[in-house]
Amino acid sequence: MKKIIVFDVSGEYAHFKKHYTTTSPLTFSFPPRTTICGLIAAIIGLKKDEYLNHFSKEKAQIALSIRNPITKVRFSENLIDTKTAKMMSRIVNRTQIRFEFVKDPSYRIYFTHHDEQMYNRSLGIIEKNKSVYTPCLGLSEHIANIKFVGEMDYQKKSSTQDFIPINSVLPFLDNSQMKINYEVDKEYFTETMPNEMTPTREVKEYLKIIFERTGSTILLKEMDFWLLSNNERIIFL
């Protein structure tokens, strides 16, 4: 039976910058897979110039579910030019920028790795709710709380006849046979995110992802999924 690490990350605010926004930065509703890779790397102590070598889709499998309803707020921050001032107390020039943030974010991360040594290294740190570097939710000032949920068994299943509730966000593949039952009392959104990067930080894949804003399950048919021992159902990004 295959094993997977499950842990929750949360905080007061989060900002996962959309790459096409500049003067008024907008945020994704949840961290893209590329950001989750960086978060896990910080927790287990991989350096910035090396961790992407270990997180290709062939080596690492990652899924995410939303634990708190996605609520976004906007307020201004004063940005300072730290390159031109020798002392922080003498900085005069400030640029006020209006940022968008996710308020009270909480996500569940599902992570496994084909390298047994890397998997055991990750489990040994995450299960103690510790980290080597400070984990954050997008920006360094938004420190993340880590809570280990458990190490679980998981196995591949297929939804062929009945609609199955999926707990995680879903890759929205236009050319696939997947069918979604859109329920009238739920709120569905899609966002296109960077999903995989090369070690030189070039985006290798963008992926459209569908999610339910409040974190409720999405009913899916005619697509493979993974069943965990706690009865959660996920699809890897």
Q: Pull the structure tokens for residue 177.
A: 């046979």
Report the mean per-residue pLDDT for the chain: 90
pTM: 0.92
Residues 188-217 have pLDDT tens digits of 999 999 999 988 888 999 999 999 999 999
93 pLDDT exceeds 90? no
Is the distance from CB of 66 to CB of 169 less than 8 angstroms?
Answer: yes
pLDDT tens track for 129-185: 999 999 999 988 999 999 999 999 999 998 777 899 999 999 987 666 788 999 999
Ranges of each domain in the chain: 2-234
Q: Tell whether domain 2-234 is in CATH 3.30.70.2660.
A: yes
pLDDT reading at 100 higher than 70? yes
Print the SS3 string covering the chain.
CEEEEEEEEECCEECCECCCCCCCCCECCCCCHHHHHHHHHHHHCCCCCCHHHHCCCCCEEEEEEECCCCCEEEEEEEEECCCCCCCHHHCCCEEEEEEEEEECCEEEEEEEECCHHHHHHHHHHHCCCCCCCCCECCCCCCECEEEEEEEEEEEEEEECCCCEEECCCEECCCCCCCEEECCCCCCEEEEEEEEEECCCCCEEEEEEEEEECCCCCEEEECEEEEEECCCCEECCC
Tokens of 174: 């236009």
The first and second tokens of residue 226, run together, are 């993974």
